[in-house]
Amino acid sequence: MDIHRTMLIALSAMHGRHEVSRAWCEHTASLGFKDVFVCVSEGDQESFDICQSHGFTICWRPNNPLSDKFNGALAYAFNMTNAARFMVLPSDDFVSQAWVDTMRASDEPYCIPHTCAILDAYTQNAYRITKNSLTPGSTMRFGAGRVVSRKVVEACEGQLWPSELNKGLDSASHARISRAGFTVKVVETEGIPITDLKTSENLWPFNTWSGSGRPCTADEALHMVSPEVRARIDAMKR
C-alpha cells in the first residue's frame, strides 16, 4: 500500500460546548489519525486548551462564518502536511474506528458514509438516518465523516466550502466538489459509522431530525465510544 494512503487527517472547528468537546477530543484522539487539525474560535481559550491536551494542531479564526473556520483548518492541514486524504469531522460527531480504517485504505477521491445517527445529549433519544439523499438537485442530508483526497482539494482551489456561510455547509460543499468533476461514493460499513451529538447550542437541534429516520437506542448510536467517553456523554443527561 502507498504510504500516503495511510495518512488520513481529520479537520474540525470548535466553539464552546466544552463538555462535548472533551468527550469528542478524547474519542477522536483514540482513532489513529495522522493528525487532527481544529480551527478554534478566537478567544475560546478553554477549547484551545482541551485540543492542545490531546496533541491536536490548532489554528484560530473568528467564530463566524463557520465555513471560513473549516476552510482555515483545511488550508493549515493541506500546507503543513503531505497527507493524501482529509476527513471532515465536526466537533460533535463521533466516528467509528471501522469508518476511519475503511477510509484510510480507500482509493476513492470523495466518500461519505451511508448512514448516521442523531443523538439528543439531554434525553439520549436517537434516530438513525438511513439514507443520504443524493438524487439530482437534492441537498445532502448529512456530510459529517466525508473524506476527500488531496486532488479534490486542489481542484476546489483549496476551499471545500464557499466563504461566508454559517448554514448549509454540507450541501454547498457537495455542490462545489461536484462542479469540480468528482462523483461522491456512498460507502457502507458495519454498524453506525458516525453519530452527531445534539445539544441546545446546535444550529440544527435534535428536533429538526425527528422523523427523518428510524428510532435507535443510545447504545447503538454510541457503540463506537469507550466506557470513559460514554460516561462523559451520560453526564450530560437532564
User: Which residue(s) pair with 36 in the sheet?
Assistant: 10
CA distance 183 to 2: 23
Per DSSP, the three-state class of 65 is coil
For the cut 90, the answer to whether the pLDDT of residue 205 exceeds it is: no
CA distance 47 to 38: 10
Q: What's 17's DSSP letter?
A: -
- How many CB atoms within 10 Å of residue 186? 12
CA distance 185 to 66: 25
CA distance 36 to 34: 7
* pLDDT band, very low/low/confident/very high, at 200 (cuts 50, 70, 90): confident
The structure's pTM equals 0.90
* Amino acid 4: pLDDT: 43
Average pLDDT over residues 101-105: 94
CATH of domain 3-234: 3.90.550.10
CA distance 56 to 51: 5
Average pLDDT over residues 153-157: 95
**Domain ranges for the chain:** 3-234
Using DSSP, how many helices (H) and how many strands (E) does the chain show? 8, 12
pLDDT tens-place string over residues 120-142:
999 999 988 876 544 444 555 57
For the cut 80, the answer to whether the pLDDT of residue 6 exceeds it is: no
* Amino acid 95: pLDDT: 97
